[in-house]
């Protein structure tokens, strides 16, 4: 009898852990489904891929998101991860740290593309640029 006590306790502990894990997962799925079912036009959302947008239409299991002015994409409701509630510190219309940017960016150093390398496309110093492609020529014929 004493030999069975430890396996029974381990089995009960394992069963309790499984039960609580499944229960927690079901609760999370129910909350997510409730959030996705309550989507309304004008809500700001983030998809599972990280894309932010505003809901412009809701039809059955699909929604339409406006990700930029005039740019609309269609998604399934299940792709919505969360509804974004903007707070006072996350207002999209406010300009924050850009007010202190200098008028002339040359004082910041570097080149225009933000790197310390020259603005080239993989050419070595002193190399000539490639000749433009002439589409009128036959590419299989070699001129000698």
- Residue 143 belongs to some domain of the structure: no
pLDDT mean across residues, the chain = 77
Taking 70 as the threshold, does the pLDDT of residue 89 lie above it?
A: no
Question: Nearest Cα to 75, choosing from 49, 99, 101?
Answer: 49
User: How many domains does the chain contain in total?
Assistant: 1
Comparison of pLDDT for 120 and 41, the residue scoring more: 41
Banded pLDDT at 135 (limits 50, 70, 90): low
Sequence-separated contacts (24+) of 41-50 with Cβ below 8 Å: 43/83, 44/83, 44/84, 44/85, 44/86, 45/80, 45/81, 45/82, 45/83, 45/84, 46/80, 46/81, 46/82, 46/84, 47/75, 47/79, 47/80, 47/81, 48/79, 48/80, 48/81, 49/79
User: CA-CA distances (angstroms) from residue 128 to 27, 118, 120?
Assistant: 65, 15, 11
- Residue 125 belongs to some domain of the structure: no
Task: Give the CATH number for residue 50.
Answer: 2.30.30
Comparison of pLDDT for 106 and 87, the residue scoring more: 87
- Residue 20 belongs to some domain of the structure: yes
- Residue 130 belongs to some domain of the structure: no
Tell me the average pLDDT across 92-116. Answer: 53
Show the domain range for 68: 2-88
- Residue 138 belongs to some domain of the structure: no
Beta strand segments in the chain, E: 44-47, 52-59, 62-68, 71-76, 80-84
């Amino acid at each position: 009898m004493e030999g069975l006590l430890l396996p029974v306790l381990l089995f009960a502990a394992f069963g309790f852990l499984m039960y609580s894990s499944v229960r927690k997962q079901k609760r999370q799925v129910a909350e997510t489904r409730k959030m996705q079912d309550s989507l309304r036009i004008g809500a700001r959302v983030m998809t599972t891929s990280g894309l932010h947008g505003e809901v412009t239409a809701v039809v059955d299991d699909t929604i339409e998101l406006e990700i930029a002015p005039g740019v609309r994409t269609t998604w399934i409701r299940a792709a919505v991860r969360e509804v974004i509630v903007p707070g006072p510190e996350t207002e999209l219309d406010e300009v924050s740290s850009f007010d202190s940017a200098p008028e002339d960016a040359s004082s910041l150093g570097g080149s225009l593309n933000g790197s310390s390398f020259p603005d080239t496309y993989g050419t070595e110093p002193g190399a000539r640029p490639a000749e433009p492609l002439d589409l009128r020529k036959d590419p299989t014929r070699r001129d000698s």
